[in-house]
Amino acid sequence: MIAYASRTGNVRYILSQLQLPGIEIGEDTMIGEPFLLLTYTDGLGDVPPIVQRFMDRNGKYCRGVAVSGNRNFGHYNFCRAGDTLAAQWNIPLVRKMELRGFPSDYEAIRRFYREQIEERSADRHEVVFATQQ
């Protein structure tokens, strides 16, 4: 699952390019399974308040963060929300993307998702029965 927040539509567009299951973060969104966070950067490098509240409730299930930003706000502020969330929750910063991102960004996110969300979820649900012969 990808949990995402989009203010201007850039992150929603990125999700559409990923073609992976996603849920838009709302005030009461709860997720009880591993997810990848996809968000934007607010202000001058801030974590959007709705994302911070979501992570306060669901952060234990977050396996990584990918973030969209705008280089016009300077190198230090570019996608800084991702740096902040990665440090705060001890999760990998999967990708920093300019606005709507590029195909190479989408592929990197898909690869991380397959390896860290899909495969690990499948491993946890696999049951093997041994039989005696």
Print pLDDT tens along the chain (133 aa): 999 999 999 999 999 999 999 999 999 999 999 999 999 999 889 999 999 999 999 999 999 999 999 998 888 899 999 999 999 999 999 999 999 999 999 999 999 999 998 876 665 544 444 444 4
- The confidence score (pLDDT) of residue 72 equals 86
Please indicate, yes or no, if residue 61 is contained in any of the structural domains: yes
Q: At 63, which CATH number?
A: 3.40.50.360
Give the separation between CA 50 and CA 75, rounded to whole angstroms. 24
Domain that holds residue 43: 2-125
Residue 27 lies in a domain: yes
Whether residue 131 lies inside any domain: the answer is no
Residue 76 lies in a domain: yes
Query: Would you say residue 23 lies in a domain?
Result: yes
Angstrom distances, CA of residue 63 to CA of 70, 76, 84, 127: 24, 24, 15, 23
| Number of domains composing the chain | 1
